[in-house]
Structure 1
Amino acid sequence: MVFRIGIFVFLIVGLIALSIFGISLLNQSKQQQAIAPPPTAQVLVASAQIQGGSLLQPSEIGTATVLASAIPVGAATDTPQNRSAIIGSMARGAITQGQPILSSELIHPGDHGFLAAVLAPGMRAVTVSVDAVTGANGLIWPGDRVDVLLTEKIPNAPPGKSIASEVVLSDVRVIATGQELIKGSTPNSPNSPNGPPAQTATLEVTPDQAARCLVAGNLGTLSLIVHSAATVAMANKPSVDFKPVWAGDVSHALSSSQPNSPTISTVHVFDGQPAGQAYNF
Structure 2
Amino acid sequence: MLSRNILVIVIAVFLGLTAVYVTNTYFSARQHQQEQVARQALMARIVVASQDVAFGAPLSTQNVRLANWPADSVPTGAFTSLDAVTRNRAALRPIITGEPVLASKVSGADSRATIAANLPAGKLAVAVPLNDQTGVGGFVRPGDSVDVMVTRQLPGNTMNAEKITDVLLQAVRVIGVDQVADESKTQPVVSKTATLEVDALGAQKLALATQTGTISLALRNVSDQTRPTPVTVSTRDLTASKLALASAPAQAPAPVVHHQNRAAHPVARPAFSGFPGASMMIVRGVKPMAYEVQHGL
Per the shorter chain, which TM-score range?
A: 0.3 to 0.5
TM-score (norm 1): 0.46
The structure, 1 or 2, with the larger RCO (C-alpha pairs under 8 Å, 6+ apart) is: 1
Structure whose CA Rg is larger = 2
TM-score (norm 2): 0.43
